Structure 1
């Protein structure tokens, strides 16, 4: 376990998967991250690379060969990360391609993720370097889960997600058998920019958004105001999810999306896939800001 700390927040990160597992107030010791109860959902904030969600039948094709790929990719359970930089307020992890990974992802790459504390904000930096002689193809994203309600004796339905701009987007429905994205959508906004949380909101799995106007979303209590703000400027898609009736909510910035039901299974044709030229670097950042009222 690694820790970052300033005069407002203390952060915990696991070595396995370079996974964020704790955001606490220095003064109150209040925990904002879901603590991975294995009887409900045993993760905190998995890092997603080189794909988001499910691929059809767990497979994809590239240059005439078929490859297996687990849901959300291979980073989230990976123990081969190396710590490249470490200070009181920043840590950087690196994962390099290797022979084992090339059995499922045939590219030479370097994946970096770093966590940086600035005042009441945690900044999560992603960086992918193409070390191959050909273009590489990937998606990446975050899956942070936040305690909700906070504190636990409150009601889940007292909370909502408020977006910075008016929205007309609807959630794309997932096929519950395959986990693939369908063409069907459903309205989920309870007002022009608000999704009211309720225990049955995720009975049809995650909410999946492709065309939001906003790049910030606020987790808010109906009478106590904002708990935290997640800013996802570097990401085109957003997922929102929890196990039904579970006391947390995941706000997931994605650069990429699960396979469509219409997929050809060709990696180069996958919706939302990023194509990166040799010797190039791709960067994407999101941040989590804890409201000052919850730090005392």
Structure 2
């Protein structure tokens, strides 16, 4: 387990999946990050790579061969190697193996950097294509889950005064999901995203997915706990907001994505996948997001 610490936060990261597992406010001892209760969802903040969301039939084609990969890819379940650790930063990396080639026929190097600065954490993903002659196709994203207050209303648990908003407020393209977890681009529409109250029924049709700009900042507020979490993505074109349904778990995920689940009408060819990234031979690409935490 890796621990980063400054005057504001204590952050813990595990080498399996290079996953954040704890973000504690030092002044109040408040835990911002969901603690992976298996009854609801046994993860904290998994890394989504080399796909985000689901593939149609959990499969894709590349150069006349079919490959199989489950939702959100394999990086979250593999051990990363530690490259560097300081008191306020950590770098871990994952490279292709014979095991990954069975699902994903590419050479790659994925480095994840965590940088702690005051009450903020920046998470950066560096994807390198080490091949000298082949293009690398990938998607990547984060999936951090944050504790929010929940109490019993009648016979059921419900969120207490939890909401999210986008800054700047305005019209954002919302992309619905099918019951099978595929996107429905033909049903996407622009909706106003200002101050949006969150209830468990908010997620009755799965995650809320929005296309965002480079200027978009997402703010999650839990007024009952006097908590605010601001998430600022960079080179991330989508954000998913999710909590289990019909289970009533006391957490909400804010998920910055560079990539998205297959559309229901996909061809299934990886090079034609919607919002897939093409990384030329020997090129490097970086995606990142910064989370800032406030607890009164």
Residue by residue, what CA displacement relative to the aligned partner does 1:116-155 show, whole Å, maximum 9, x if unpaired?
A: 1001100101000001220100000000000012899996
Verify the 8 A CA contact 2:214 2:234 in the aligned structure 1.
no
User: TM-score by structure 2 length?
Assistant: 0.92
- What CA distance in whole angstroms lies between the structure 2 residues aligned with 1:71 and 1:288? 24
1:45 counterpart residue number: 45
- Residue 198 of structure 1 is matched in structure 2 by 199
Distance 1:150 1:228, change over 3 A: farther
What is residue 127 of structure 1 aligned with on the other side? 126
Aligned partner of 2:282 in structure 1 is 279
- Deviation, structure 1 residue 279: 0.7
Alignment of 1:117 with 2:120, yes or no, is no
> Which of 152, 159, 164 is the matching residue for 1:161?
164
Q: Is the 8 A contact 2:24 2:32 kept in 1?
A: yes
The 3 A distance-change label for structure 1 pair 213 and 90 is closer
- Counterpart mapping for 1:30-179 below 5 A: 30-79=30-79, 81-132=80-131, 133-149=133-149, 156-176=159-179, 178-179=180-181
Alpha carbons 1:169, 1:212 under 8 Å: kept: no
Q: Secondary structure at the match of 1:76?
A: helix
* 8 A contact 2:149–2:225 mirrored in 1: no
Alignment-derived partner of residue 238 in structure 2: 237
User: 1:288 pairs with 269, 291, 296, which one?
Assistant: 291
CA distance in 1, matches of 2:173, 2:278: 27
Q: Which residue of 2 aligns with 1:16?
A: 16
Match of 2:265 in 1: 262
- Segments of 5+ residues of structure 2 without an aligned counterpart are none
Please tell me whether the aligned partners of residues 141 and 254 of structure 1 are also in contact (alpha carbons under 8 angstroms): yes
- CA distance in 2 between counterparts of 1:269 and 1:110 reads 22
Cα distance, 1:242–1:65 mapped onto 2, change above 3 Å: same
Cα displacement (A) at 1:227: 1.2
Structure 2 vs 1, CA of residues 19 and 225 (structure 1 numbering), >3 Å: closer, same or farther? same
CA distance in 1, matches of 2:268, 2:31: 41
Moved over 4 A (4+): 150-155, 186-189, 211-214, 222-226
CA deviation after TM superposition for structure 1 residue 228, in Å:
1.3
SS in 2 for 1:4: strand
Match of 2:260, SS state, is: coil
Offset, 1:103: 1.1
CA distance in 1, matches of 2:83, 2:105: 24
> How many pairs align?
289
Q: Per-residue deviation at 1:91?
A: 0.6
